[in-house]
Amino acid sequence: MTDNLLSTGQWLLTAVLFLLILGVAVRQVNWRAFRQDNAIQHSFFGAAVILGFIWQLRAGISPGLAIHVFGITVITLMLGWALAVLSGLLALVITVITGREPLVMFAANGLVTVIIPALVSHGIMLWERRRNFRNFFAYIFFCGFFGAGLSVAVAGLVMCLLLWTGGIYTLDELVNEYIRYLPLFMLPEGFINGTFVTGLMVFHPDRLVTLDQSRYR
């Protein structure tokens, strides 16, 4: 979202939520294990750079309604939700430095683009784990394909809610320009994330810290 799209109250609300969840994420990370694990460090910083580059590519006409690949789901499955949030925010810093995002909207964009997709993906992963599926395709489909599609849908709806309650767009405008196209956005998001998860599960399952290999036959 660009400058002047949110009211002062919305800006403060998103900033408070952003800081609270960021604080939880920082405390959730095992920093000693992170410093000692070169593979996790490479995944963390590599993901940030790749996302920072991918997020330069976007489409859209109306302010605040841009479309781009999120890619947070696969990062969440690789690193866990807390490190995924921090890696995604580092990628967002790159977009701010390159001028693609305004610094003043960092909290709002971080909440919508990074935190919400990571939490939704994490929730789907926990649900799949509680169901105790024994076929590894369940992890690929639910956590990879379905989780990515749902995460971008939830993030998109939250963004539309902010723009609608802020009086930037009417509900009809949001439906016509964005919401009715959400299923089309979900498909490529699910495909891209699901494909990467499948590749990692086949060739580098150790890179998926959320994958419990002992469960699957």
pLDDT of residue 124: 95
The DSSP bridge partners found for residue 59 are 67
Burial tier of 123 (Cβ tally within 10 Å: 0-12, 13-18, 19+): middle
Q: Please list the ranges in the chain whose pLDDT falls under 70.
A: 1-3, 59-64, 217
Q: What 8-state DSSP symbol labels residue 176?
A: H
Domains and CATH numbers, the chain: 8-215 (1.10.1760.20)
Query: What average pLDDT does the chain have?
Result: 90
Q: Report angle CA 52, 192, 152 to the nearest 5 degrees.
A: 75
Q: How far apart, in whole angstroms, are the C-alpha atoms of residue 64 and residue 148?
A: 21
3-state secondary structure of 1: coil
Structure tokens at 133: 């599926």
Give 112-167 pLDDT, tens digit per residue.
Answer: 999 999 999 999 999 999 998 888 889 999 999 999 999 999 999 999 999 898 88
State the sign of the Cα–Cα–Cα–Cα dihedral 86, 127, 183, 75: positive
* Percent over 90 (pLDDT), the chain: 61
pLDDT of residue 99: 85
Question: What is the residue type of 179?
Answer: I
pLDDT of residue 107: 93
pLDDT of residue 69: 82
